[in-house]
């Protein structure tokens, strides 16, 4: 199911998932989004606007409830960014969902947005990029997470997330795989066959 909170390429995401065999609906209904087999959270535009839209449909509670029950969530573009602690745009700091520590900030590249195809430095242990480790993926963004170290206290029995990175002057988080929570800064729905493989790999983890 694709979450409709007023931001994102909903139909493009739906078509891309249907292309790889998924049965997809678009919804803003909290109960449906919380109980479906898998939820996709896309996002396009300003961080603060996306957070406002997500709050309006109780997105934070939906995602928290899903993850507490081990139910899969896939974030795309700003749908990745809002999973972090906060985003800073034009000097304004907006709280995110806090699923991961880290701040989304403006990239320091001389030309923005970062628009077009780029390769990924795939993290060790990734299943999302199986078979497409050397492929290019499509990005459209001016902000990202450029500094992220997942804290390890030595006591956790959980596997640390797998982070994959991309370089565009700054090095920024391109994807994270963290149990039922997975997210990409790039757009798999706009990344052709390589993006289709990403979605297929994600769907395979649901079975």
- CATH assignment of the domain containing 153: 3.40.50.880
Range of the domain at 180: 2-204
What pLDDT was estimated at residue 8? 77
Mean predicted lDDT score pLDDT of the chain: 94
- Report d(CA 57, CA 78) in Å as an integer: 16
Indicate the SS3 state at residue 44. coil
Q: Among all residues, which ones are annotated catalytic?
A: 77, 187, 189
pLDDT per residue over 57-73, tens digit each?
999 999 999 999 999 99
Provide the pLDDT confidence category of residue 152 given band limits of 50, 70 and 90: low
Please tell me the total count of domains within the chain. 1
pLDDT at 3 over 80: yes
pLDDT per residue over 72-115, tens digit each?
999 999 999 999 999 999 999 999 999 999 999 999 999 999 99
Nearest Cα to 76, choosing from 108, 125, 42? 42
Give the residues across from 181 on adjacent strands: 73, 178
End-to-end CA distance of the chain: 15
Nearest Cα to 174, choosing from 186, 162, 161? 186
Average pLDDT over residues 171-190: 97
**Minimum mean pLDDT among 89-103, 107-121, 139-153, 169-183: which range?**
139-153
Model pTM?
0.94
């Amino acid at each position: 199911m694709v979450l409709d909170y007023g931001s994102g390429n909903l139909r493009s995401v739906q078509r891309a998932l249907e292309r790889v065999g998924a049965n997809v609906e678009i919804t803003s209904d909290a109960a449906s989004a919380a109980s479906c087999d898998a939820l996709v959270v896309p996002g396009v535009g300003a961080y603060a606007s996306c957070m406002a839209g997500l709050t309006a449909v109780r997105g934070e509670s939906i995602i928290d409830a899903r993850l507490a029950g081990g139910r899969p969530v896939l974030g795309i573009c700003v749908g990745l960014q809002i999973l972090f602690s906060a985003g800073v745009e034009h000097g304004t700091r907006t709280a995110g969902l806090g699923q991961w520590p880290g701040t989304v900030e403006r990239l320091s590249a001389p030309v923005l947005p970062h628009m077009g195809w780029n390769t990924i430095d795939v993290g060790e242990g990734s299943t999302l990029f199986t078979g497409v480790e050397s492929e290019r993926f499509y990005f459209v963004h001016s902000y990202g997470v450029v500094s992220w170290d997942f804290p390890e206290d030595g006591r956790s029995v959980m596997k640390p997330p797998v982070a994959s990175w991309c370089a565009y002057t700054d090095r920024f988080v391109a994807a994270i795989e963290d149990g039922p929570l997975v997210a990409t800064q790039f757009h798999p729905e706009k990344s052709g066959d390589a993006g289709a493989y990403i979605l297929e790999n994600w769907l395979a983890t649901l079975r």
